[in-house]
């Protein structure tokens, strides 16, 4: 079993470069299934979710060449099956994008229910509603989703809740549909804009991504033969911003889009740390104990739920009592039990947690319950006095490229050890 061993406290200092966005890349890869040709994707994060995504595509007939560790070329001219491997699709959440892409390209798909982080109930009713409005017949039996359509037809679709996954999935499915689709109450996250930009580069006609109304005029074909570079990861950038604050460090975070980080910047300033926006990099430093602050997670442009645990580490060390209200996922406070093992004083009740700030955290053996909880524990271990051992690394490896290398380069004493 692998574990990360972190010895602290270390104020993180120096420069760190952000990788391509996981949540964009895991949608762009399946979206290539719409292209009857070749395309190259650059700035792909080298993480396990991407490797599994490639395995699924290869089993459907994609030919994938890795040009280097962050660039792949995909050829989807000869898809050979409409049955996705059930064991692989259940390993991560974004496997649901195979449904939208294969319905669009082949008019048929059989796929396992998606897996991913256990953050509470994760229904896909809005995805299914969207596919049905486009004319597909969708059934779910014993954990397998069967979706079929002769030819998808554009339709107005009102999303009952703001869903990142449903917005992207229905957008992907609509690209080759006949006529116009209008997605109302769409999610606005940066990765939605990135998937739309990718598809438009390949010949799609998508307008309004990044607003709450997206209009997709169906086209006959996507042409491929293009190269696309994935947007920098908003959540990875935010993770390092909050790591700088929690460890009272000084970091220049390169290759990020500072506009995507405004809600995080605002909270970092509120807790009394410093942020300098340098256009394509952001400088964050903190030389005193953070102040308390209250957080409510919201869809973009609100404070992202995927940075809530990392912010929780900052608030567990703050001067005073802070409150976090988690409005997206019902089980996102599992990490607070682990922080309490390190000396934090956090009480979680349902979707609200109270953080009575302590002056110091202390190293302890801790378990990562999900991807972002794992990142929070790496930050906590770097800020804490003594040795922290972090287990369940498979969660962290799903979404962070070389987390220990990146932390080590900015001063953390961190090793991956095979027990
Ligand atoms: C995506 C992100 C995840 C992030 C989340 C919210 C990916 C691969 N994952 O997850 O990291 O935490 O956005 O920013 O991009 N819901 C329904 N019915 C549906 C779909 C969603 O009720 O059909 C609910 C969910 O239970 C949740 C809320 O809507 O309460 C938001 O979920 P959604 O935005 O869809 O999250 P994901 O796309 O799964």
Domain locations in the chain as residue ranges? 2-18+232-418, 22-229
Domain 22-229 grouped into CATH 3.65.10.10: yes
- CB of 336 closer than 8 Å to CB of 346: yes
What does the pLDDT average to over 37-63?
95
Average pLDDT, the chain: 95
Contact 272, 231 (CB under 8 A): no
Confidence of residue 121 (pLDDT cuts 50, 70, 90): low
State the pLDDT confidence band at 242, using cuts at 50, 70 and 90: very high
How far apart, in Å, are the Cα atoms of 229 and each of 21, 129, 174?
10, 31, 22
The answer for residues whose C-beta is within 8 angstroms of residue 370's C-beta and 6 or more apart is 117, 118, 119, 332, 334, 335, 395
Write the DSSP symbol of residue 288. Answer: S
pLDDT tens-digit series, residues 286-320:
999 999 999 999 999 999 999 999 999 999 999 99
- Of 53, 165, 374, the one to substitute when testing ligand 1's pocket (max ligand atoms within 8 A of C-beta) is 165
54 catalytic, yes or no?
A: no
Closest atom, ligand 1, to C-alpha of 129 = 23
Q: How many CB atoms lie within 10 A of CB 341?
A: 17
For 1, 159, 178, the CA distances from 53, given in Å and listed in that order, are: 24, 26, 28
Domains 2-18+232-418 and 22-229 share a fold: yes
pLDDT over 80 at 197, yes or no = yes
DSSP string, 217-261: E--S-B---EEEEPPB-HHHHHHHHHHHHHTT-EEEEES--GGGG
DSSP conformational letter for 35: B
Contacts of 66 (CB under 8 A, 6+ apart): 72
CA of 167 to the centre of ligand 1 (A): 10
The catalytic residue among 39, 117, 256, 286 is: 117
Domain 2-18+232-418 is found in CATH 3.65.10.10: yes
Atom of ligand 1 lying closest to residue 372 CA: 11
Instruction: Measure the CA–CA gap between 361 and 335, rounded to whole angstroms.
Output: 14
Taking the CA atoms of 206, 208, 214 and 217 in sequence, report the sign of the dihedral they define: negative
Asked if 149 contacts 170 with a C-beta cutoff of 8 angstroms, the reply is no
Span 208-240, pLDDT tens digits: 999 999 999 999 999 888 899 999 999 999 999
Tens digits of residue pLDDT in 62-109: 999 999 999 999 999 999 999 998 888 877 778 899 999 999 999 999
Residue 37 Cα to ligand 1 middle (Å): 31
* Alpha carbon distance 277, 219 (integer Å): 39
Using one digit for the tens of pLDDT, what is the confidence trace for 247-278? 999 999 999 999 999 999 999 999 999 999 99
How far is the first Cα of the chain from the last one, in angstroms, to the nearest whole number? Answer: 5
Q: How far is CA 355 from the centre of its chain?
A: 25
Residue 117: pLDDT band with limits 50, 70, 90? low
What are the pLDDT digits (tens) for 364-404?
A: 999 999 999 999 999 999 999 999 999 999 999 999 999 99
Q: DSSP secondary-structure letter at 289? A: P
User: Would the pTM count as exceeding 0.95?
Assistant: yes
CA distance 378 to 397: 12
Q: Quote the tokens at residue 144.
A: 């397998």
Residue 372 DSSP code: H
Among 20-29, 52-61, 107-116, the range scoring the smallest mean pLDDT is 107-116
**From start to end of 279-418, where are the E strands?**
281-285, 295-296, 321-325, 345-349, 352-356, 365-367, 386-391, 413-418
In tens, the pLDDT along 173-182 reads 999 999 999 9
The label of the residue with tokens 């972190």 reads: 6
Among protein residues, the one with the nearest Cα to ligand 1's atom 13 is 164
**Positive or negative, the Cα torsion across 265, 269, 274, 276?**
positive
Instruction: Please give the number of the atom of ligand 1 that sits closest to the Cα of 165.
Output: 38
Q: Which residues lie with the beta carbon below 6 Å from any ligand 1 atom? A: 23, 26, 93-94, 121-127, 161, 163-166, 187, 305-306, 328-329
3-state secondary structure of 13: strand
């Amino acid at each position: 079993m692998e574990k990360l061993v972190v010895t602290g406290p270390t104020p993180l200092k120096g420069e760190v470069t952000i990788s391509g966005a996981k949540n964009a890349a895991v949608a762009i890869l399946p979206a290539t299934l719409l292209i009857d040709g070749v395309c190259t994707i650059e700035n792909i994060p080298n993480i396990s979710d991407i490797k599994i995504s490639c395995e699924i595509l290869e089993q459907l007939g994609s030919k994938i060449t890795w040009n280097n560790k962050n660039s792949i070329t995909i050829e989807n001219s000869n898809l050979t099956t409409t049955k996705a491997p059930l064991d692989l699709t259940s390993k991560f959440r974004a496997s649901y994008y195979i449904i939208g892409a294969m319905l669009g390209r082949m008019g048929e798909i059989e796929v396992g229910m998606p897996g991913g982080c256990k953050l509470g109930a994760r229904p896909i009713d809005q995805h299914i509603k969207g596919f049905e409005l486009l004319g597909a017949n969708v059934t779910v039996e014993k954990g397998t989703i069967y979706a079929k359509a002769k030819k998808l037809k554009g339709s107005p679709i009102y999303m009952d809740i703001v869903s990142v996954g449903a917005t992207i999935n229905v957008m992907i499915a609509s690209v080759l549909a006949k006529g116009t689709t209008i997605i109302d109450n769409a999610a606005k996250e940066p990765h939605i804009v990135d998937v739309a930009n990718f598809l438009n580069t390949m010949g799609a006609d998508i307008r309004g991504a990044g607003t709450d109304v997206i209009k997709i005029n169906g086209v006959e074909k996507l042409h491929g033969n293009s190269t696309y570079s994935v947007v920098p990861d908003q959540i990875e950038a935010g993770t390092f911003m909050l790591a700088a604050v929690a460890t009272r460090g000084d970091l220049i975070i390169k290759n990020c889009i500072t506009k995507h980080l405004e809600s995080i910047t605002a909270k970092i300033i509120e807790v009394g740390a410093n942020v300098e926006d340098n256009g394509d990099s952001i400088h964050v430093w903190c030389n005193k104990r953070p102040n308390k602050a209250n957080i409510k997670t919201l869809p973009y442009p609100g404070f992202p739920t995927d940075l809530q645990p990392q912010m929780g580490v900052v608030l567990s060390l703050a001067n005073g009592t802070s409150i976090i209200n988690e409005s997206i996922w019902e089980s996102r406070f599992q990490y607070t039990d682990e922080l309490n093992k390190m000396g934090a004083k956090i009480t979680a009740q349902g979707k609200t947690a109270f953080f009575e700030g302590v002056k110091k955290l202390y190293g302890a053996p801790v378990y990562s319950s999900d991807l972002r909880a794992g990142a929070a524990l790496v930050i906590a271990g770097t800020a804490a006095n003594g040795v922290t051992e972090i287990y369940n690394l498979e969660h962290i490896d799903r979404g962070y490229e070389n987390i220990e290398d990146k932390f080590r380069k900015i001063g953390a004493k961190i090793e991956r050890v095979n027990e």
